[in-house]
A and B are shown apart, each in its own frame.
Chain A
């Protein structure tokens, strides 16, 4: 899998490249700015671009803007945004560009080589990744009364994994159950939370995250 990395800190850029290389991913190019990144994506046509959310010139959301541009202009290139913030708002913004080939991961994950490489692979394979910390917080936040209470423990697990962007297959592997069972759980969850059936196949991560944060 061919990967491009964008981060304005040279230490992290090299560090992440090394981690990914150790995990048998091919880092084909490294960029220090959004403009450089777009040029490299154009030239290298990588499978995945790993983009830091804070980049020059203002160090706010340039990385996210670049990610949105890549998704629009090169839909076959997956984008994994590494962020310093556990903000649902940013993840949702990314998901609004389509629920495939994208991920929003906390930057601290670079210290967990396996998790980072796994996320890159999932995005490269066309999947969605949402940082587990973010999902855990959303699922666990206190609610006065909530349909969430009606979910079984297993259903809650499935809900969290779904929010992390895992496919039915991926959820099944994690929980050691068949995709068929996962599908049943998901239908129950959607029914209990009164989420629209149409969201099951399309934009379900967005729907679940939106549900969880309100």
Chain B
């Protein structure tokens, strides 16, 4: 294929050179000849860039289109320079307006080489058909003489196209075609604007420079028609327009070439990435990759083989992303053992080489990141399992409390009732048995009392029934130290949160009684920034630590299991101050 590209390039070059040479003996002003040579040179530069692009991206049609555009701009001029030879004249007429559809095709298909929308395809097909019709008109009917033998073009030895069949005043019709070119150019500009609007952010960044150049080319074309009529201006004689046309025409391949160079400089970006990753702290690999690939929206999904699932850098599970029009997915590493997946702007798919190189460069860092993510996922799981254990414990406490009330307590009460009946049936005189039964009943009452308090300590029914405020007030009623309870948040909360807050206060009060020698305690429950804030302050001797008694230790675990914070401040002589924050939603 490279041979073909070389041949095309060499052929194009030879054509340009040949045309420049052939122009020299022609009787034309020197300025026209100079400008023709400049024009041919610029076209050759465009052709060269086109061939390079074609060579770098053989799978992308853009290269071919960019190569074809200067060629189809040169070939029509054959009919002027070799006017007395039928073959160049025929070739010239055949390609007479082909540069326009090729240009439109090139711009609208950039950067993928494929026309993205139906409307684009329709328009480009129409443009080709339009140019073909235009060329066909000349191929079939062009003649330098009128049917009566007079010349309308003073050219005795002008050759006719090989395909000539009859005379027809083609120029009258060609004027109509020229005027039709104006709405077509405007339609093209509209389609280009539409393409820019609908592009993804990354895509727009890539398309924008070329679109600007294309706007210039099409814009100056429209301006020429509007200012000078359908056949435009003769750029050979008009200096200003000569330069405008030339520069606009050259911009397109140059911008495209620069885009290619940037894509090539992706290699050096990857080299920079390798260096940067050395200094990148764990968890920042995404940012480094996003910079290298020029896609700020880039997301990283790390593959955890043990779980056979993707997670983000925080270890949170991710749905396996599937490609869509807005997001593309590139899996890094071998498909059977992926390292990670990148979610990115689909436009990056056009630079798959860069994507893969960056992925390969980041491989080690990603492995590292993956281990970190795995660790985080394990931590999250650990926390979840701790929460589950606490919840299961709470459930078990509730079940026990229910069983004590509905089982043991009911049975003891029934037993008591039976004793009563026995005593009443025994009558007055029973050798002291009646007294004995009375004592048994007293014991039973004491047992019932103890059972009730035991059940209450395991899990107060009022907590799940009436909520934290009621349960704390009830706790305050029972405390042997005077307690002030301020509940600022009396709405119902998650069961685990209520239980944690309740047992925290309950254990703290118990400590006040057991160790702190406090004469008063203040309990306050407030809500702050989505947290339930539990504070217990006493005026006791202080000096409490988490190690001191397992009660507080267990509470720390309970609070932390809910992702909360627990602090204890207990300077000797300055009371004990417990502060806990438990996330409880908004």
Contact = CB atoms under 8 A, between A and B. Distances in A.
B465 A61 contact: yes
Interface in B424-468: 424, 441, 444-445, 448-449, 452, 455-456, 461-462, 464-466
Contacts of A59: 402, 405-406
A214 B445 CA distance: 29
B417 A88 contact: no
A66 B429 CA distance: 44
Contacts of A143: 482
B545 interface: no
A213 interface: yes
Contacts of A85: 452, 456, 461-462
Contacts of A12: 410, 413-414, 417
Given A12-B413, A19-B417, A111-B413, A88 B479 contact: no
Contact of A84 (B405, B470, B477): B405
B482 A142 contact: yes
Where chain B touches its partner, the secondary structure class is helix
A137 B477 CA distance: 8
Contacts of B474: 87-89
B409 interface: yes
B477 A88 contact: yes
B520 interface: yes
Contacts of A22: 424
Interface string A1-35: 00000000101100110110010000000000000
Where chain A touches its partner, the secondary structure class is helix
Interface residues of B, number: 38
Contacts of A201: none
Contacts of A213: 473, 476-477
B478 A137 contact: yes
B414 A18 contact: no
A84 B462 contact: no
A16 B480 CA distance: 35
A138 B452 CA distance: 17
A86 B461 CA distance: 11
A90 B417 CA distance: 25
Nearest to B410: A9
Given A61-B465, A89-B462, A111 B416 contact: yes
B199 interface: no
Contact of A138 (B406, B477, B481): B477
A106 B557 CA distance: 36
A143 B417 CA distance: 38
Contacts of B420: 19, 111, 113
Given A19-B417, A142-B480, A111 B520 contact: no
B477 A144 contact: no
B268 interface: no
Nearest to B462: A87
B368 interface: no
B317 to A, nearest CB: 35
A88 B444 CA distance: 24
Given A18-B421, A141-B479, A108 B413 contact: yes
Given A12-B410, A85-B461, 13 more contacts: A9-B406, A12-B414, A54-B405, A84-B409, A85-B456, A87-B474, A89-B466, A108-B413, A108-B448, A111-B416, A113-B420, A142-B479, A144-B482
5 contacts: A12-B413, A59-B405, A85-B462, A108-B413, A144-B519
Interface of A: 9, 11-12, 15-16, 18-19, 22, 54, 59-61, 84-90, 107-108, 110-111, 113, 137-138, 141-144, 213-214
> Which 10 pairs across A and B sit closest by C-beta, in order of nearness?
A15-B417, A11-B414, A144-B482, A111-B416, A89-B470, A144-B520, A142-B482, A60-B465, A108-B448, A9-B410
